[in-house]
Amino acid sequence: MEAKTMKAFTFKRYGKSPELGFDNIDYPAPDADEILVKVYAVGLNPIDNMIPTGIFKPVLHFRLPATLGSDLSGVVIAAGSRVTRFKPGDEIFASIFDRGTGSLAEFALVPESAAAMKPANLDFVQAASLPMVSLTSWQALTERAGLQPGQKVFIPAGSGGIGSFAIQLAKHLGAQVATTTSTDNVGWVSHLGADEVVDYKKQEFENELSGYDMVLGTIKGDSIEKSTQILKPGGKIVSLIGPLDAAFARARGLNFLLRLVFGLMSRKIMRLTKKRSLSYSFLFVRPDGNQLTQIGKLIEAEQIRPVIDKVFPFAEAKDALIYLAGGHAKGKVVVKILA
C-alpha cells in the first residue's frame, strides 16, 4: 500500500542555495503526547528566512529536506493516547519552533504542551500571526525582565512583527514605551500605544532617550551597544537577535567549544553592560501552550490585537518569505494554507 503524502514547503540544504520549494512528504502520525492538526494558516517570522542559511545549524537540528515555518493555526484531526486537553474538531494555535520540523504544510504535529485553543474572536489567519511574537514578547518582558508598572522600556522597530505586539503587551503591563520607526509610521505606532516615538530617519534614539529600565533587542547592527547609553544602572537588555551568549549555550546543553565561541561573540556587549551596571541576555523563544492560553485571554478581552500586514496563498509561500525579508512589513506576514 502506497504511503499517504502531503504538500509541504521545504528547504533541501543549508547555504546560499537552499532549494526552497514544494515537496510531497510523508503524512505524519501523532505520538502519544501530540495532536495532528490540519493547518489553516501559518505566521512567518524572520528566523524562517535565517534557518536555511545555516546560521542556527549548531543550535537547531533539522533532518533535510525540512519543512519551514513555526507558527500555525488549524483544526485538530487526531490526538495521541496521552492527550487530555484537545480532541478532534478543536480549533487551536501554536508554535512548533525548535521541533526539527515546520508548519508550512497541509498537516502538522503539535505537542499538546505547545498548543492552545484559538481565541474565539479571531479567524485562523489572525491566530496564526500570534504565537512566536506573542510568546517572545511575553517571555522577554515578564519572565526575563520582570517588567513592572511605571517602568520604561525601549522596543525598537515598533511597526514590525515583534514590535507591534510587544508595544501592546508592555502597555498592558503598565510600562512606558518608546520605539523607533520611519516617518510614515510615527502616528501608527503611537496608536498601538508607544508613548515616545523616535523617527530613525531624522533622529538617533541614543540622543533622544534616557533613564530606561529595559531594552528589547530587535535590530541587528550596533543598536544593542548604543542602547546601553539609554539605560539606567540595573537596566536590562534582552536581545532576540544576538549576540548569543555563554548562558544560552549552557541552557541548550551545548558543548564546551560552542560555549566558548558564544562567550567570545558576546564579550563586547558583556563588557559594556558590566561597565554600566547593566545586564545582557539572549532570548530564544520556547513554545508554551499555557502562556498562549493566557495571551489568548488578553486577545479575547481585546486588550491586545493582532497586526497583519499581508496574507499570501500557500502557493506563494516563497514570495511571502521574500516579502518578509525585505524588512518593511507593518505587523505580520501570514500564509493562508486553506482558501
Beta bridge partners of 179: 197
Asked whether residue 301 is assigned to any structural domain, the reply reads: no
The reply to whether omega before 46 is within 30° of 0 (cis) is: no
Our CA dihedral for 55, 40, 336, 140, rounded to 10 degrees, sits at: -40
| Residues 173 and 142 placed together within one structural domain of the fold | yes
> Residue 33 in 3-state DSSP?
coil
What residues in the chain have per-residue pLDDT under 50? 1
8 Å CB contact between 9 and 337: no
- Is 317 in contact with 293 (CB distance < 8 Å)? no
Is 290 within the bounds of a domain?
Answer: no
What pLDDT shows up at residue 334?
98
Please tell me the number of Cα atoms within 13 Å of 131 on its side-chain side: 34
Specify whether the CB–CB gap between 79 and 86 falls below 8 A. yes
User: What distances in angstroms separate CA 277 from CA 11, 52, 228, 233, 273, one per listed residue?
Assistant: 43, 37, 10, 5, 6
Instruction: Specify the CATH number for the domain of residue 161.
Output: 3.40.50.720
CATH of the domain at 23: 3.90.180.10
Predicted pLDDT of residue 3: 62
Q: What is the pLDDT of residue 153?
A: 98
Residue 191 has a pLDDT of 92
Structural domain of 278: 133-282
pLDDT tens column, 181-207:
999 999 999 999 999 999 999 999 999
Q: pLDDT at position 1, please?
A: 44
- 8 A C-beta contact, residue 54 and residue 16: no
Note the pTM of the prediction, 2 decimals: 0.94
Q: What pLDDT is stored for residue 252 in this prediction?
A: 83
What's the structural domain count of the chain?
2
Q: Of 70, 128, 125, whose CA–CA distance to 99 is shortest?
A: 70
pLDDT tens figures, 240-279: 987 888 888 888 888 888 888 887 878 898 898 999 999 9
